[in-house]
Amino acid sequence: MYRWEFERHGEAVTVEVDGPLTLTSDRLILRAVLAGAGLAYVSAWNAREPMRDGRLTQLLDQWTPTYFGLCFYYP
């Protein structure tokens, strides 16, 4: 299982999370959380629209690690 990763002022923390629902797709995770299933750990760009229109609120924003985006490498 993926552990949730948080970081603030150089302090890194990982949290092992379990629960009755486990999903691997950001789309499905967002659908579930918007339906009231609980908290979600998803990328900001995938949650941008529901955050913009107020359906979602970012929690622990001071603990959100900086993510520089995806990189592709070619041989």
Residue 41 inside a domain? The answer is yes
Q: How far is CA 1 from the centre of its chain?
A: 14
**Confidence category of residue 56, pLDDT binned at 50, 70, 90:** very high
Residue 8 inside a domain? The answer is yes
What is the rounded CA–CA span in Å between residue 51 and residue 61?
A: 13
What is the rounded CA–CA span in Å between residue 1 and residue 52?
A: 29
Residue 21 inside a domain? The answer is yes
Tell the burial category of 25 from Cβ atoms under 10 Å away from its Cβ (0-12, 13-18, 19+).
Answer: exposed
The whole domain housing 49 covers 4-63
Q: Average of pLDDT values for 34-39?
A: 94
pTM: 0.74
What is the rounded CA–CA span in Å between residue 9 and residue 27?
A: 31
What is the rounded CA–CA span in Å between residue 38 and residue 20?
A: 10
What percent of the chain has a predicted confidence (pLDDT) above 70?
97
The pLDDT, as a whole number, for residue 65 is: 75
